[in-house]
Structure 1
Amino acid sequence: MKKLFAGFAILILLNSCSVQKRFSKILPQNQGFHQGFIFIDFETGDTLFQKNADKYFVPASTTKLFTLYSATHFLLDSLLAFQYLETPDTLYVRGAFDPSYQHPDFKREYPVLTGNKPIVLDNSLYIGPAYGQGWMWDDAADNYQVALSAFPVYGQLLKAEKSEEGLHFEPDFFEKTDQDLEKIIPLGKGFEIETLAIGEKVSFPMIMNDQLLSGILSKDLGTNVSIGEALNVDSYKNQYSVSLDSALIYMMHRSDNFFAEQLLLQSGLKMFSDSINTGKIIERLLQNELMHLPQKPRWVDGSGLSRYNLFTPKDLTTIVSLIENELGFERLKTFLPTNGLNGTMKTFAEEEAPFIYAKSGSMSGVYNLAGFMKTDKGRLLLFGVMNNNFTQSVSKTRSETADFLIEVKSRF
């Protein structure tokens, strides 16, 4: 009997070595940069292949998988738009980090805000800096890196379009105002709006302050909106906005940094009653729900904009598995972009039938991918691929990663 068990053990070992060798033969050609891989048979839990899977890499937007976990774990089926208390002469409103207010893709009206009463807005729940830790100064005027706020408006973006009639703005507050655009747009790039050609459109992050926020909201709502403090918040009512799933699909498919940051902050409302910032939320998650990650990450923001973030391939596959445990594969699949079909994966391996459901992450010198893939033999693999510190173009590394995963699909 002992010989029989020993024989089985040898067969398993030989098969494992064979799989490792087969993977090694098809790995992308390494030109001196850092690579990490892990492939797990999702049904059996067996690790088929790993290389540098416990090493740290800059994750870029695969960080949004951790925000996805936090949001689905803590939030209800709809986002909290704000909290409010109505008195005989005033409406008190408390911001709750909802990214959808007057967002161009999620516009909706809130009847409670459209009365004639003056509004006092408490925008103090967020106590962190306007920008995330380690965000790049070079990106400060780009529309994918916007300021954080307890009550963000219009996606925190100022949009402008030039027509023969003149300049048109969203928010339209800026169409009849003496605001100095040079002070509202980072890096003094307000002059770019003044020099637009007819038909040209631009969008810039707004440098928001209380005066500007109250002006935009007063114009929108047709009543005086001032910035102040909430009364006894225990008596406030909740106003909900868009469905959680629609917001998460938007965040994941578009890799939207603004939604990622705001949704991580809103999930913090379930952890802290006041004085919320990104660092507190992350620390709380890592000490509790995510305390058993294979390697403790360095995690500083919700979007992955920061190069201070450091995760391992094992961390990425672990967080995907945790989300699947809570949501099930079919629901999770709706949030993960699919090759050839949608989001950031629409042009990835687009010649192949859909077989990858994964979140990508890229920036200069970085291309990563983590999620699920189905092989031609019917296997469902949980995988993470991380590429860092390359000097070639991101598109080249992305293409090499696609070719590699197509080979995995056909061979395993």
Structure 2
Amino acid sequence: MTIIRLQFITALFCFFSCAPPKALLNNPGQAKLKKNINALIVDSGLDVNMSIKVTSLNSGEILYALNSKKRLMPASNNKLYTCAAALANLGSDTIFETAIYQQENNLILKGGGDPDFSLEQLDSLAKIISSQIESVDTLFVDESLMDTLHYGEGWMWDEGSWWYAAPISAL
């Protein structure tokens, strides 16, 4: 069977298996949305697991759903709307501050939720402090800005060591 014939059969199958229910027939915009999304899926040629849910921000009505109850690892484009939401809520001038305080001969490292704070920056901070202070009895780490839930619901247990699944932390 040629690839074109296979694609045509797949497109026909998708077309007839995705016939809109009566509720959608009364809303031509919603039927068009569903048709367009289904066409994008078919045209992509991707053989992947996917789930999609499009919800109206005004009414909360589900406009489109495909495997929407299936739990999957979010795609990397998830960061786009996460970043947009952060900018909308925090603004572009927000500064995350990680601070060190001295209390007698102890140091307190207070995390400010900086998502870009790295081990290299921590190492640089330690070098600056060690050049100014002879000895430290205890280093306290303060993560109180955030709760103790370090992984999101549904996160895979075996991905915690990868950079893209960093734990949620004030540090």
* TM-score, structure 1 normalization: 0.23
Decide which structure has greater strand share.
Answer: 1
Larger RCO, structures 1/2 (Cα 8 Å, 6+ apart)? 1
